[in-house]
Amino acid sequence: MIVSAMFGSRWLSLIVGLLIVASSVIVYRRGVSSTFALAAPGSAIDDEATGASGDTSVAHEPPLHSSGAAGSVCDETAAPSGAAELRACTPLSRDDAFEMIAAPASSVSAESAARGSAEEPLAEGRARAVAAELGVYARLTEVVRSQLVGVNEATGREALLLVDRLQNIDSVVDMILGAINRSAEVSGSLVSLSKDEAFAKLLQMGSVSAHDSAENEKEMRSGLADTESLFRFIDEIKEVAEQTNILALNASIEAARAGDAGRAFGIVAREVRKLSTRSTELARRIEKDLTSVFAALQGHFHELLGRSAASQEQMQKTIAEELTIMTDNLSRLLETQDNAIRDVRLRGEEVAALVISLLANLQFQDVTRQQLDSVVQAMTAIDRHNEALQSFLLSTEVAENVPQIQPLLDKMYGTYVMQEQRLAHAAAGVLGGRSEAGEAPAMVELF
């Protein structure tokens, strides 16, 4: 998101603007500012060009926009001073330009005379110096360009990693939900089995009297075997709880790796760990209860087998008590699991919505990639314009015109793929003859 903010489309116009302004400033500093009319008189950098103010052939205006009308004579009446639109300008020929370069030189002729240098060589010398200085910009833009390309590559890699991490978290959450559901199923089976079969038999056994025990011996043995089988369910509950705990731990790790985006997953993971700890505790308690019940039943069984009538009532009472405790604990386990499942499912839905939202947010990378691509293209175009300016300055062709930046800006405008870029371009006042970019249409439109 930071990258998105940093490299908004305004960046493009900023970079383009800065480079052009920088080029203009160099031109100005070297004494040809009056020709190109790029800086305000009286600015800190016009010390060398004070003589130009008296030159009527030069339009001296407040600072022009970065687009500049470099190499043009601009009609002051065509646009009000400070207006955002480009002024109506007439391209200058190289001869005109040199004439104008020479003009300020003549107005500082005292200085020239003092140095004993001729006017023409001074102007040509300045042009050569400007051309050399402009040449430095190609290297500068190359550095910036390669950094922008690097940013694109880096955000692309990071975005892919994020997709991967989000998917990991998502699958862990799905697994947790699966494990919890399974745990609930097992507990549910345990309860229904207890109520429907084993417990019924146990209760029945508890109430079996010594007199009919011989007839029920077979049934009692089977009852004991059923009770024993309940331990397997307990083991399974413990196993699932342990598995859930590990999954929750993984979820915590993934959540931490995902940074801020993973905070919601962290909460789910914590809740699930609490659930698994509580499930394990309850399962242990039920196991203990079951062990007591089982021991009591075995004792009861042996007594019955031994036809001893002693303590029959006491034994039945003990078994009934143990069974009640166990049933209570089982109910509590189910209640805890039900609540947790409801919570985790709800959180799971939140997580699913969050995952979808975060995955959609990754489109930002593609958006910024295209914006940065536009900046890179613009910088390449600026390089070409820069080269044209250099060769113009060094050319001896008589009829050559100063290279114009507007066609380049128009071409740039044509490569934009986003309304934001067009709006930024329009806001910079370099639309040329184009109409305003206008408002952005709806983000979602069904035809």
Partner 1 sequence: MKTIMLVDDSATMLMSMEALLKKASFATQTASSAESALTLLQGGAKPNLIITDLNMGAMNGIELIREARKIPALRFVPMLMLTTESQTTRRQEAKSAGASGWLVKPVDGAALLQVLGQLLPGGAV
Helix (H) or strand (E) holding 237: helix 213-257
Q: Least distance in Å: CB of 441 to partner 1?
A: 5
* Strand partners for 89: 74
CA atoms of 292 and 294, how far apart (whole Å):
5
Q: Verify binding: residue 2, partner 1, rule CB under 8 A.
A: no
The binding track of 386-425 with respect to partner 1, each residue x by CB under 8 A or -, is: -------------------------------xxx------
Q: Least distance in Å: CB of 446 to partner 1?
A: 4
By the 8 A CB rule, do 255 and 347 touch?
no
Q: What is the per-residue burial (b if ≥16 Cβ within 10 Å, else e) of 330-368?
A: beebbebbeebbebbeebbeebeebbeebeeeeeebebb
Choose between 138 and 359: whose C-beta lies nearer to partner 1.
359
CA atoms of 65 and 59, how far apart (whole Å):
14
Q: Verify binding: residue 447, partner 1, rule CB under 8 A.
A: yes
Going along 96-145, which residue ranges are E strands? none
> Which residue of 145, 201, 369, 385 would you call a contact of partner 1, by CB under 8 A?
369
Q: Least distance in Å: CB of 440 to partner 1?
A: 5
Instruction: State the DSSP code for 261.
Output: G
Helix (H) or strand (E) holding 219: helix 213-257
Site residues (CB under 8 A) for partner 1, limited to 170-229: 170
Q: Least distance in Å: CB of 368 to partner 1?
A: 10
Among the residue ranges 108-116, 134-142, 154-162, 328-336, the one whose residues contact partner 1 (CB under 8 A): 154-162
Total residues at the site for partner 1 (CB under 8 A)?
A: 35
Choose between 169 and 248: whose C-beta lies nearer to partner 1.
169
> Which residue of 3, 88, 163, 427 would you call a contact of partner 1, by CB under 8 A?
163
Q: Verify binding: residue 363, partner 1, rule CB under 8 A.
A: yes
Q: Least distance in Å: CB of 406 to partner 1?
A: 21
Q: Verify binding: residue 160, partner 1, rule CB under 8 A.
A: yes
Q: Least distance in Å: CB of 344 to partner 1?
A: 17
Q: Least distance in Å: CB of 419 to partner 1?
A: 4
Q: Verify binding: residue 445, partner 1, rule CB under 8 A.
A: yes
> Which residue of 110, 114, 398, 444 would you call a contact of partner 1, by CB under 8 A?
444
> Which residue of 144, 253, 325, 362 would you call a contact of partner 1, by CB under 8 A?
362
Distance of CA 264 to the CA centre of its chain: 16
Choose between 83 and 161: whose C-beta lies nearer to partner 1.
161
Q: Least distance in Å: CB of 408 to partner 1?
A: 21
Q: Verify binding: residue 346, partner 1, rule CB under 8 A.
A: no
Q: Verify binding: residue 433, partner 1, rule CB under 8 A.
A: no
Q: Least distance in Å: CB of 179 to partner 1?
A: 19
Distance of CA 93 to the CA centre of its chain: 51
CA atoms of 424 and 420, how far apart (whole Å):
6
> Which residue of 364, 377, 388, 434 would you call a contact of partner 1, by CB under 8 A?
364
Instruction: Look at residues 274, 284, 281 and name the one whose alpha carbon lies nearest to residue 339.
Output: 274
64 CB burial (10 A radius; 0-12, 13-18, 19+):
buried
Q: Give the CA-trace dihedral at 212, 214, 215, 216, to 10 degrees.
A: 90
Instruction: Look at residues 401, 405, 406 and name the one whose alpha carbon lies nearest to residue 98.
Output: 401
Query: CB 216: neighbour CB atoms within 10 A?
Result: 17
Q: Phi and psi at residue 258, in whole multiples of 5°? A: -80, 0
Question: What separation in angstroms does the CA of 112 have from each of 52, 105, 109?
Answer: 15, 7, 5
> Which residue of 203, 359, 388, 427 would you call a contact of partner 1, by CB under 8 A?
359
Choose between 280 and 368: whose C-beta lies nearer to partner 1.
368
Task: Tell me the torsion sign for CA atoms 90, 397, 23, 104.
Answer: negative
CA atoms of 164 and 153, how far apart (whole Å):
17
Among the residue ranges 18-26, 162-170, 214-222, 232-240, the one whose residues contact partner 1 (CB under 8 A): 162-170
CA atoms of 42 and 130, how far apart (whole Å):
21
Q: Verify binding: residue 140, partner 1, rule CB under 8 A.
A: no
CA Rg value for the chain = 43
CA atoms of 111 and 115, how far apart (whole Å):
6
Choose between 42 and 438: whose C-beta lies nearer to partner 1.
438
Residue type, 327: T
Choose between 320 and 418: whose C-beta lies nearer to partner 1.
418
Q: Verify binding: residue 353, partner 1, rule CB under 8 A.
A: yes
Name the site residues for partner 1 (rule: CB under 8 A). 156, 159-160, 163, 166-167, 170, 352-353, 355-367, 369-370, 417-419, 440-447
